[in-house]
């Protein structure tokens, strides 16, 4: 390939990667590969400027604006950062700085490079007015509503010193613990897992529904302050001030007087960064004094007064001893590598994720091979390659099972999915186990006293096969049961035994679970793709299990946020005869199969914005009908007489205390006729 062709190819490829990364929050290649290709393109363009294309990704910030959000122009452009993976280049950067400042003294501020999404946060008179993405650097997407869901971000800054207009910049991110929580939840309801915290954060910020965004607890570390006129002399001062004003400033920054100190900071954080609550991918080094920053200036794409040092993902090499196959709740089979224990980023690694059979093929890995293990943004390390120089006669092919490792049912592969599945949903022990774990969780039936091995023991003893069996457990059946568990990794044993006290706890929890609301029951029964929120929406809309059970695909599509995939899954679930029996048994056990609140259909807008309370009995309505009428016309029912109450509806034989309180507080009281007039006004 000649240089012109290579330049064209790299330009196209990198443009595509940028598009996927910034628009669709997908990494087609890892960052290191991306950066190396960009470096290659940049070098070729320098050598052959005549072939450099105007749309080259070397000239500009990678993102663009999208159609879904309003476009906002940045008051100060949002640039990228030059980056390097080598200390030698860092020294070159320092030399350029020295030259640029004509020998004047200078300090650096080192910060962690947080791996999330750059945000511009504009404040007007101390109030958060706008949150905008970086976009193409000149203009970005207005995602204010989503940014407002970040709890650590002050919506109002109470300080006398703040200028009327200022902008704070920071990195919006998904904390690792939150990322893990979301993935556990997704796995539980059979959704594909999110690939990494940075892409998950980026995808979340681009959602249209800020209610859904709020459920993912995003966070933001701020690292830059801009105003006109400037009110600080140094970056350090601005960090201290932002912290004092209530912004979330990561305490990890440090002032360094020389490039040697910078290097020491880099070394120090190479492994320590894994203790932080978020993914990081390097260190950002900035000149501290603002006048010196101005003196050094900018290129078209990045400041000359700062650079990012990126860590190569930490890698170790070790031997692949064996592969185990785990079966999840939905039957998906995941291969897990069992490794000869090796130290990586300060922890001993024994296992690594292999994702699926495609991944094993892609890596070409064999048993007893020496493999490279890397720790990236995720918590579980992954195998990234094979050290072929160490391949020996002992290496043997990994034979992917054709049968479920737990129940020997032949595995199947669903179209378009990377995983093999065990189709024996009802009899496969790990699937059963996971189904119970799903059923007992707090947000489902809340019977967590059954955790920690008890479920496994009950399955083993043949006492439970379906969650409905739980409600047939008795004191006699449970008392005295015992099982010893051995941890495969440490060899330590643990005994679970059911004595009087724990049996009582279990039975009480089971009894109490019968009061869990209908939406929790709906979540607990484990329909694929039906998470908490969807269960709530379904419960609200249909009101009871019979309406839902008989709902058609079309009817289901009428539920807010329910699409084809969920509708299909619900219909299929209720069509299954065993599931019908399951639901009947739960109903007989006394679980809630209807909401207290009957879903109401909107009839009018006459009561919108008004609040009501009623007392006594009425000629034309039962209490429930009255409540429905109020809600159907957009009104709200309050729990008691308060300042917020607009009307007390008084019927026959009213309660004296409500009337008395309403009189005292001057709340208007209306009769049934007046209320009916209001409905139709």
Ligand X SMILES: NC(=O)c1ccc[n+]([C@@H]2O[C@H](COP(=O)([O-])OP(=O)(O)OC[C@H]3O[C@@H](n4cnc5c(N)ncnc54)[C@H](O)[C@@H]3O)[C@@H](O)[C@H]2O)c1
Q: 113 catalytic, yes or no?
A: yes
Is 523 annotated in some ligand binding site?
Answer: no
Residue 35 to residues 58, 82, 143, 283, 377: CA-CA distances in angstroms?
11, 10, 28, 16, 17
Residue 175 touching ligand X (CB under 6 A): no
Tokens of 386: 């094979």
Residue 409 C-beta: closest distance to Zn ion, Å: 5
Residue 404 touching Zn ion (CB under 5 A): yes
Burial 559-597 (b: 16+ CB within 10 A, else e): beebeeebbebbbebbeeeebeebbebbeebebbbbbeb
Is 520 annotated in some ligand binding site?
Answer: no
Is 613 annotated in some ligand binding site?
Answer: no
The smaller minimum CB distance to Zn ion, of residues 310 and 419, is found at 419
Is 511 annotated in some ligand binding site?
Answer: no
Candidates 6, 8, 23, 28: give the one binding ligand X (CB under 6 A): 28
Stretch that binds Zn ion, among 207-215, 315-323, 414-422, 472-480 (CB under 5 A): 414-422
Residue 9 C-beta: closest distance to ligand X, Å: 16
Stretch that binds Zn ion, among 77-85, 278-286, 302-310, 406-414 (CB under 5 A): 406-414
Residue 366 touching ligand X (CB under 6 A): no
Residues 229-268 touching Zn ion, rule: CB under 5 A, are none
Stretch that binds Zn ion, among 119-127, 282-290, 427-435, 614-622 (CB under 5 A): 427-435
Is 286 annotated in some ligand binding site?
Answer: yes
Is 407 annotated in some ligand binding site?
Answer: yes
With CB cut-offs between 5 and 8 Å by kind, which of Zn ion, ligand X, none does residue 27 bind? ligand X
The 250-289 contact track toward ligand X, x by CB under 6 A, reads ----------------------------------x-----
With CB cut-offs between 5 and 8 Å by kind, which of Zn ion, ligand X, none does residue 10 bind? none
The smaller minimum CB distance to ligand X, of residues 166 and 173, is found at 173
**How far apart (Å, rounded) are the C-alpha atoms in residues 195 and 30?**
12
Is 273 annotated in some ligand binding site?
Answer: no
Give the chain's length.
681
Is 395 annotated in some ligand binding site?
Answer: no
Start-to-end CA span in the chain (Å): 78
**How far apart (Å, rounded) are the C-alpha atoms in residues 215 and 531?**
13
Residues 324-363 touching ligand X, rule: CB under 6 A, are none
**How far apart (Å, rounded) are the C-alpha atoms in residues 383 and 354?**
7
Query: How many helices and strands (H and E) does the chain possess?
Result: 24, 24
Residue 296 touching ligand X (CB under 6 A): no
Residue 454 touching ligand X (CB under 6 A): no
Q: How many Cβ atoms sit within 10 Å of the Cβ of residue 143? A: 27
Stretch that binds ligand X, among 25-33, 342-350, 441-449, 589-597 (CB under 6 A): 25-33
Three-state DSSP at 341 gives strand
With CB cut-offs between 5 and 8 Å by kind, which of ligand X, Zn ion, none does residue 227 bind? none
Residues 92-121 touching ligand X, rule: CB under 6 A, are 111, 113-114, 118
Stretch that binds Zn ion, among 47-55, 428-436, 560-568, 594-602 (CB under 5 A): 428-436
With CB cut-offs between 5 and 8 Å by kind, which of ligand X, Zn ion, none does residue 436 bind? none
Under 8 Å between Cβ of 61 and 137: yes
Number of residues that bind Zn ion (CB under 5 A): 7
Under 8 Å between Cβ of 128 and 168: no
Please list the residues that pair with 611 across neighbouring strands. 636
Please list the residues that pair with 170 across neighbouring strands. 119, 222
The smaller minimum CB distance to ligand X, of residues 302 and 353, is found at 302
Residue 428 touching Zn ion (CB under 5 A): yes
Is 209 annotated in some ligand binding site?
Answer: no
Residue 308 touching ligand X (CB under 6 A): yes
**How far apart (Å, rounded) are the C-alpha atoms in residues 414 and 422?**
11
Residue 409 to residues 52, 66, 331, 581, 655: CA-CA distances in angstroms?
57, 47, 11, 24, 65
Stretch that binds ligand X, among 79-87, 488-496, 499-507, 534-542 (CB under 6 A): 79-87
**How far apart (Å, rounded) are the C-alpha atoms in residues 278 and 220?**
10
Three-state DSSP at 413 gives strand
Under 8 Å between Cβ of 421 and 397: no
Residue 134 touching ligand X (CB under 6 A): yes
Angle ∠(413,414,416) on CA atoms, nearest 5: 115
Under 8 Å between Cβ of 86 and 35: no
Select from 354, 207, 339, 233 the least CA-distant residue to 290: 233
Residue 27 touching ligand X (CB under 6 A): yes
Three-state DSSP at 405 gives coil
**How far apart (Å, rounded) are the C-alpha atoms in residues 465 and 409?**
18
| Catalytic residue (choose from 36, 46, 113, 255) | 113
Tokens of 302: 């990045």
User: Among all residues, which ones are annotated catalytic?
Assistant: 113
Binding-site annotation, residues for NAD(+): 31-35, 80-81, 111, 134, 171, 286, 310
Q: Which residues bind ligand X (CB under 6 A)?
A: 17-18, 21, 27-31, 34-35, 61-62, 80-81, 83, 111, 113-114, 118, 134, 171, 223, 284, 308
Which residues form the interface with Zn ion (CB under 5 A)? 404, 406-407, 409, 422, 424, 428
Annotated binding site: 31-35, 80-81, 111, 134, 171, 286, 310, 404, 407, 422, 428
């Amino acid at each position: 390939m000649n240089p012109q062709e290579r330049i064209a190819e790299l330009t196209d490829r990198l443009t595509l990667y940028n598009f996927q990364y910034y628009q669709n929050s997908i990494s087609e290649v890892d960052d290191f590969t991306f950066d190396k290709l960009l470096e290659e393109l940049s070098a070729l363009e320098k050598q052959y400027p005549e072939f450099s294309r105007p749309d080259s990704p070397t000239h500009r910030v990678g993102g663009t604006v999208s159609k879904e959000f309003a476009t906002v122009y940045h008051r100060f452009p949002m640039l990228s950062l030059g980056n390097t993976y080598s200390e030698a280049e860092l020294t070159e950067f320092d030399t350029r700085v020295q030259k640029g400042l004509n020998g004047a003294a200078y300090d650096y501020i080192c910060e962690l490079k947080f791996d999330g999404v750059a945000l511009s946060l504009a404040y007007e008179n101390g109030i958060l007015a706008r949150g905008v993405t970086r976009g193409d650097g000149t203009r970005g997407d207005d995602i204010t509503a989503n940014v407002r869901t970040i709890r650590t971000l002050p919506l109002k800054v109470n300080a006398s010193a703040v200028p009327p207009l200022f902008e704070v910049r920071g990195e919006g991110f998904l904390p690792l613990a939150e990322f893990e929580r979301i993935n556990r939840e997704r796995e539980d309801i059979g959704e594909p897992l999110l690939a990494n915290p940075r892409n998950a954060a980026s995808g979340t910020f681009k959602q249209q529904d800020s209610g859904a965004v709020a459920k993912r607890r995003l966070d933001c570390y701020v690292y830059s302050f801009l105003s006109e006129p400037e009110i600080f002399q140094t970056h350090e001062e601005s960090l201290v001030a932002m912290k004092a004003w209530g912004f979330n400033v990561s305490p990890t920054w440090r002032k360094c007087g020389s490039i040697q100190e910078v290097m020491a900071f880099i070394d120090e954080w190479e492994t320590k960064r894994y203790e932080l609550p978020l993914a990081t991918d390097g260190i950002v080094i900035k000149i501290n004094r603002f006048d010196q920053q101005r003196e050094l200036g900018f290129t078209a794409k990045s400041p000359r007064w700062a650079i990012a040092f990126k860590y190569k993902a930490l890698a170790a090499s070790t031997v692949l001893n064996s592969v185990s196959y785990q079966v999840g709740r939905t039957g998906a089979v995941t291969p897990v590598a069992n490794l000869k224990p090796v130290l990586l980023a300060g922890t001993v690694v024994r296992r690594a994720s292999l994702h699926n059979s495609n991944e094993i093929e892609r890596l070409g890995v064999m048993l007893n091979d020496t493999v490279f293990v890397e720790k990236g943004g995720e918590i579980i390390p992954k195998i990234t390659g094979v050290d072929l120089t160490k391949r020996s006669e002992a290496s043997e092919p990994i034979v992917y099972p054709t049968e479920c490792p737990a129940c020997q049912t032949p595995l199947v592969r669903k179209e378009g999915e990377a995983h093999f599945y065990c189709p024996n949903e009802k009899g496969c022990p790990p699937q059963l186990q996971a189904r119970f774990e799903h059923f007992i969780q707090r947000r489902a039936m809340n019977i967590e006293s059954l955790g920690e091995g008890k479920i496994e023991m009950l399955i083993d003893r043949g006492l439970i096969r379906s969650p409905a069996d739980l409600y047939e457990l008795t004191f006699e059946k449970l008392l005295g049961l015992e099982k010893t568990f051995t941890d495969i990794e440490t060899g330590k044993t643990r005994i679970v035994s059911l004595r009087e006290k724990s049996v009582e706890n279990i039975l009480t929890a089971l009894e109490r679970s019968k009061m869990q609301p209908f939406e929790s029951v709906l979540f607990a029964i484990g329909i694929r793709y039906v998470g908490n929120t969807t269960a709530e929406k379904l419960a609200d809309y249909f009101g009871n299990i019979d309406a839902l059970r008989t709902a058609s695909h079309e009817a289901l599509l009428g539920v807010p946020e329910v699409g084809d995939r969920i509708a299909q899954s619900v219909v299929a679930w209720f069509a299954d005869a065993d599931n019908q029996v399951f639901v009947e048994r739960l109903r007989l056990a006394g679980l809630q199969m209807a909401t207290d609140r009957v879903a109401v259909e909107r009839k009018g807008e006459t009561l919108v914005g008004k609040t009501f309370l009623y007392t006594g009995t009425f000629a034309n309505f039962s209490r429930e009908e009255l409540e429905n009428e109020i809600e159907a016309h957009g009104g709200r029912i309050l729990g008691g007489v308060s300042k917020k109450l607009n009307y007390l509806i008084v019927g026959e034989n009213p309660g004296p205390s409500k009337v008395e309180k309403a009189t005292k507080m001057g709340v208007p009281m209306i009769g049934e006729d007046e209320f009916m007039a209001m409905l139709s006004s």
